[in-house]
């Protein structure tokens, strides 16, 4: 079976992170750890550094989304197929999607999750995918690589998965997990 999650994967160093490290704002351990934020710059600070070095590209065209998915998946050691399946289930690749609950963008980030990962514009595909894949990576790590539990946590929250010691008995969550897993099976 193909591994959908690489526990030892750490995010690749970006040119912006290297600039921040050179300025003394980012230590090596902070740059290489996907969840390190205390004492280090936020995702938005890294984005700001990247933008200062090069003009901000226009919003991603549909054909660019695949490349952004590939980059974020590789950066966090998450299988690209899993990321695509989550994006399909969450927004059907619509970067402007908004749910009834207020989740936004390709990976349907809730405002609190977007803030947690420093997202300034949840409709920006690059920011949304970066934060969403980083969050998914963290859930996969938290649930020891169990894709079904990580997906359930992505949908219902990690506390619900812990409370029920498995996929919560919510119809929406069970349907979501089944939908994403079916998508994975359809695209081996």
- Torsional sign, CA 167, 170, 112, 106: positive
Q: Indicate which residue of 80, 90, 130, 172 is catalytic.
A: 90
- Rounded (10°) CA dihedral 114, 59, 75, 160: 30
Q: What sign does the dihedral 113-119-124-129 (CA atoms) show? A: negative
Structure tokens at 123: 């409709």
Q: In terms of Cα–Cα distance, which of 63, 73, 59, 89 is closest to 152?
A: 89
d(CA 39, CA 98): 32
φ/ψ of residue 70, rounded to 5:
-60, -45
Question: In terms of C-beta distances under 8 Å and separation of at least 24 residues, what long-range contacts does 23-31 make, across chains too?
Answer: none
H/E stretch holding 142 reads helix 125-142
- Does 90 participate in catalysis according to the annotation? yes
Residues forming the active site: 90
């Amino acid at each position: 079976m193909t591994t959908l999650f690489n526990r030892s994967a750490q995010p690749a160093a970006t040119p912006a992170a290297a600039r921040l490290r050179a300025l003394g704002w980012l230590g090596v351990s902070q740059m290489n750890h996907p969840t390190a934020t205390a004492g280090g710059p936020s995702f938005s600070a890294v984005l700001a550094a990247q933008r200062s070095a090069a003009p901000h590209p226009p919003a991603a065209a549909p054909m660019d989304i695949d490349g952004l998915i590939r980059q974020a998946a590789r950066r966090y050691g998450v299988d690209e197929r899993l990321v695509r399946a989550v994006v399909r289930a969450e927004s059907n690749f619509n970067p402007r999607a908004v749910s009834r609950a207020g989740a936004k963008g390709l990976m349907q980030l809730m405002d609190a999750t977007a803030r947690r990962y420093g997202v300034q514009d949840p409709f920006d595909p690059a920011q949304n995918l970066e934060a969403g894949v980083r969050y998914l990576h963290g859930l996969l790590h938290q649930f020891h690589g169990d894709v079904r539990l990580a997906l359930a946590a992505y949908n219902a929250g990690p506390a619900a998965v812990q409370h029920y010691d498995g996929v919560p008995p919510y119809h929406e969550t069970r349907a979501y997990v089944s939908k994403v897993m079916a998508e994975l099976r359809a695209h081996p």
